[in-house]
């Protein structure tokens, strides 16, 4: 038997979302995901500026099993009418769920089942969003400050980006005159399994 891992302690700055100590910081800029946005002329025009869309801070942990703990910080901004958002993924392990706790800002969580059913939930400080296994998920910052949330998922869940890079999600979150609107994605290609 390997020696049991030691307990660990970290701190989240509730305003910036920074975890200390963090094992890993992932930074996503527009150039990492230009094709993900609906308004391609707007995306291309912003590429020279190449804004940071979001960062993920994973907590340093001694264990190789169990849970991954991380904060995500999505900046406030838009590409055309579409808000800054994460790439979005499903878990390779279809039974692996995920939990989000929002710490700051306002956003929407878009979840999509393997048969293209969509559920959109609001994220605001104190919201706990439960993403069941088998549901792809993307987070969108619909507010005018960073959206900061804490996420917990199984270390061996695995990220499947490919399916959603190609066909996107069935619903888009666009800025309207009265705030965010959930609209059908006109270029969405239905799941083969649907
Ligand atoms: C959350 C979790 C992470 C994910 C991150 C960014 O923190 O769901 O697993 O990596 O958001 O989302 P994505 O990987 O889809 O860009
Ligand atoms: Zn996930």
Sheet of strand 171-176, all strands in order from the earlier edge strand to the far edge? 78-79, 82-83, 171-176, 179-184
Predicted confidence (pLDDT) per residue in 10-29, tens digit:
999 999 999 999 998 999 99
Rounded distance between C-alpha atoms, residue 59 and residue 23, angstroms:
5
Q: Find the ligand nearest to 165 CA.
A: 1
Share of residues in the chain with pLDDT > 70 (%)? 97
Which one of 56, 102, 103, 138 would you pick to mutate in the ligand 1 pocket, going by the greatest count of ligand atoms within 8 A of its CB?
56
129 within ligand 1 shell (Cβ under 6 A): no
| pLDDT-based confidence at residue 192 (cuts at 50, 70, 90) | low
Q: What is the pLDDT of residue 189?
A: 79
Share of residues in the chain with pLDDT > 90 (%)? 85
| pLDDT-based confidence at residue 5 (cuts at 50, 70, 90) | confident
Whether the per-residue pLDDT at 4 is higher than 80: the answer is no
Predicted confidence (pLDDT) per residue in 54-102, tens digit:
999 999 887 778 999 999 999 999 999 999 999 999 999 999 999 999 9
Q: How far away, in angstroms, is 98 Cα from ligand 2 center?
A: 6
CA angle (114, 117, 123) in 5-degree steps = 105
171 within ligand 1 shell (Cβ under 6 A): no
86 within ligand 1 shell (Cβ under 6 A): yes
Cis ω on the peptide bond leading into residue 94 (within 30° of 0)?
no
88 within ligand 1 shell (Cβ under 6 A): yes
Measured from the Cα of 54, ligand 1's closest atom is 6
Measured from the Cα of 98, ligand 1's closest atom is 8
How many C-beta atoms lie closer than 10 Å to residue 34's C-beta?
15
87 within ligand 1 shell (Cβ under 6 A): yes
Query: Backbone dihedral region of 66: left (phi > 0), alpha (psi from -120 to 50 degrees) or beta?
Result: left
**Domain extents for the chain?**
11-184
72 within ligand 1 shell (Cβ under 6 A): yes
Could you name the CATH architecture of 11-184? Sandwich (2.60)
Whether the per-residue pLDDT at 182 is higher than 80: the answer is yes
User: Considering all CA atoms of the chain, what is the largest pairwise distance in Å, rounded to the nearest integer?
Assistant: 60
Query: Backbone dihedral region of 102: left (phi > 0), alpha (psi from -120 to 50 degrees) or beta?
Result: beta
Residues 6+ positions from 167 with CB-CB distance below 8 Å: 188, 189, 190, 191
| pLDDT-based confidence at residue 193 (cuts at 50, 70, 90) | very low
């Amino acid at each position: 038997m390997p020696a049991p891992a030691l307990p660990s302690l970290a701190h989240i700055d509730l305003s910036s979302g920074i975890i200390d100590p963090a094992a890993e910081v992932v930074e996503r800029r527009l150039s990492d995901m230009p094709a993900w946005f609906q308004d391609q002329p707007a995306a291309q025009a912003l590429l020279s500026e190449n804004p940071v869309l979001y960062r993920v801070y994973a907590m340093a942990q001694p264990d190789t099993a169990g849970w991954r703990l991380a904060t995500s910080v999505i900046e406030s901004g838009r590409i055309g009418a579409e808000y800054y958002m994460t790439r979005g993924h499903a878990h390779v392990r279809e039974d692996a769920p995920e939990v989000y706790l929002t710490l700051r800002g306002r956003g929407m969580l878009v979840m999509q089942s393997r048969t293209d059913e969509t559920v959109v939930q609001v994220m605001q400080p104190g919201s706990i969003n439960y993403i069941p296994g088998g549901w792809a998920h993307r987070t969108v910052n619909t507010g005018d400050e960073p959206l900061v949330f804490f996420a917990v998922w199984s270390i061996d869940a695995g990220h499947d980006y490919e399916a959603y890079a190609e066909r996107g999600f069935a619903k888009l979150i666009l800025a309207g005159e009265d705030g965010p609107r959930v609209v059908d994605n006109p270029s969405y290609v239905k799941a083969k399994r649907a």
